């Protein structure tokens, strides 16, 4: 199974989740970490990945507001970051 290191940010959350996205688009723990990690800033999330020798990551930003209002959910915004 191939996975992409991923930092996940959710609208209005005060933290970022660090994990990976697998081939079925599931958010899972990175093989080098025991679990999905929570970081209090984007800077700390990037540093955690650098500390584990990961230098390319997918940043995914999501919002649940559309679903909360009964609208179809919008696609997450993704960007590749080079650490």
Q: Kindly state the tokens that stand for 8.
A: 């996940």
- Taking the model in full, what pTM does it have? 0.84
* Structural domain boundaries, residue 29: 3-82
**pLDDT tens by residue, 2-19:** 899 999 998 778 899 999
Is 13 within 8 Å of 48 (Cβ atoms)?
no
Which residue has tokens 């999905």?
Answer: 36
Rounded distance between C-alpha atoms, residue 79 and residue 18, angstroms? 15
The confidence band for 76, taking pLDDT boundaries of 50, 70 and 90, is confident
**pLDDT tens by residue, 34-61:** 999 999 999 999 999 999 999 999 999 8
Domains: count for the chain: 1
């Amino acid at each position: 199974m191939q996975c992409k290191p991923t930092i996940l940010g959710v609208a209005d959350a005060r933290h970022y989740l660090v994990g990976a996205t697998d081939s079925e688009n599931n958010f899972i723990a990175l093989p080098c970490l025991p679990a999905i990690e929570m970081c209090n800033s984007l800077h700390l999330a990037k540093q955690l990945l650098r500390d584990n020798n990961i230098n390319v990551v997918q940043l995914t930003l999501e919002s649940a507001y559309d679903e909360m209002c009964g609208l179809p959910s919008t696609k997450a915004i993704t960007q590749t970051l080079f650490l």
